[in-house]
A and B are shown apart, each in its own frame.
Chain A
Amino acid sequence: MAALELENVSIRIGQARILNDVSLQVPAGSFTCLLGPSGCGKTTLLRSVAGFAPLSAGDIRIGDRSIAGLPPERRETAMVFQSYALWPHMNVGENLAYPLKLRGVSRGERERRVAAMLERLDLAHCAKRPIGALSGGQRQRIALGRALIIDPPILLLDEPLSNLDAAIRRTLRTELRDLQRRLGITTLMVTHDQEEALSLADRIVLMRDGRIIQVADPETLYTAPADLDTARFLGVDNLVPEGGATLAFRSTQAHAGPRALHAGLRRQGRVIDSTYAGGAWRIRLAVAELELTAMGEASLAAGTPAWISVPDHALMRFDAHRDAA
């Protein structure tokens, strides 16, 4: 059953169409990522669920309740912002307690729940600290706790990890995933980072130009993108025209070397250059009028002949008419 449902949602600002007839069902308990290049409408879609982007047409439902006409404060969605958006005039404990205060929860109950949340976030010692004294990772954890403390039916995450440095981002990613699994809370997250989407989500909604292009689980999306543009966005960097179709593959799944391997696609060319890519060499080859890239165990001198071999399972075929569409 869909916990959250968008039906023919369109959003226009002036003449610009930000979202174009978008329909989406978010299953209960799922972790769904909205993925796409910047300007594709993914953040607007998330904000429309929270009530910050008014719809030009369509409907949004949580369960069987339409929320499209409700102001943000009555939607019961909990959102975590990219900038954390913690309230600087309140300390950590007060930030966590405020949503409960708004719901008329008694002081004793508030204190109990704030303490439990801080315990869960592993920040029990921070209750009295001002927001300014926290690190970025701690701030984002508090922001997450503030959203979860009201037990919302839907958790909305707007690029929650993109302001953090790489190491903390990896840790928090794991924490986020564990927390989401444990609570079973329906989660909708916006990201432009495909690695993040692939590792966190159990469903990915790929968007482009205000439309949904593909909805799939991470593996399907990665191995069978709906069209060539999607494939390119997901890191498919080699295109080989063949007949009326285009064969596409990732450099990382192709092999370059002095001899051809037994593979679905084999082409001979000349080495343009080799660069070390950690563990292997990334080798650029000129194959007829094409330029292809593949990985090799050793560096190859520029100008020497070499083979590029791509295994069957790494090849994606796109028909010309679908590419044009």
Chain B
Amino acid sequence: MWMDLAIKAGLAVVMMLIVINIAGIHSWVERKQSAVIQDRWGANRAGFTLNSPLWRWLNPLLRPIIYLGLFQPIADLLKLVAKENWSPVGGMKWLHAVAPFLYLLFAFAGFAAIPFGDTLHVAGRDIALQVASLNVGFVFIFAMAGLGVYGIVLSGVSSNNNYAFLGAVRGVSQMISYEVTLGATVIGIVMVYGSLDMQEIVRGQGALLWGWLPKWGVFVQPLGCILFFTAALAETKRIPFDLPEGESEIIGYFTEYSGTKFGMFLLADFVETVMVAALTTTLFFGGWQFPYLQASGFVFPWGAEVAVGHYAVVAIQVVSFLVKVIAFCWLLMTIRWTLPRFRYDQLMDLGWKRMLPVSLANIALTGLVILLIEAL
């Protein structure tokens, strides 16, 4: 029993490290990727050189790090941590302090239900590579995403600032509007794979369509994939949908935050980006599935088989999951540096008048097709 607990704790730590590292490096990726997209260099100055004769030999090693701008996130972090822990006059001090913690907590909690590999057999144990093997994984993830609204509400209400309050109102209405579409698109996936368990959905995506095409969500639910990705993009509250934040122009809900607490909001945004990438991967791009890789090895549609050891299979699966997640993080970042912000009425129109009806139609269509396939 203690061993099981230790294994779960270990898995939680692994997942946490994966997420926090990908999210942390986003602050660097954000600078450098935008720079490369816009024909610039990006941050390549932050850093230090060592003048002491004892450590001077390290300078050639530091230079490429400075050149790549990798000291910039550290400098950002030091700046944020060194700032005063301030709370607004007339605000609710305790709630103001709690809001970013809640926001970050719920952003992280959803990852518990994301599987990053199939069952690992080691030393006579079966370890499911998933922090919490929930049979209602979906509901849990959307519940956590929904609870994240509390962070926004509390930060807006407790700041004693009308702009922050309005930002929070915009944030809440946006999150709630797009969560409807998010839930509706996922129903199509649930209907196709017949389970609410994330691990079962990913296993279902290992099957082949017509004997050659991996049965990934994107192939059986192309419309659902686009709708889900768009709605999830809105949930991250980053640029085409950044009306709740809009730091420089329209003043968002964390206006009254500085220092570490501001940093937590920033990190939570990146964590949500990784969450969207992980969810899209899991639901629509086969999760940890690698095309034609079965538990025994590669089974190609033209009949060839390549036996692969169990540990290698699990390693390929985990790496496959991570590569897909990072690719989606890249895509999300590219979208963030491509599209301009929506106007608020456009945002609401898109959510309620376009995406919701289309996603409902998608459910009906999926049901019809499934019925037809079963009848034939």
Whether A and B are associated in the same complex: the answer reads no
Chain A residues within 8 Å of B, Cβ to Cβ = none
* Chain B residues within CB distance 8 Å of chain A: none
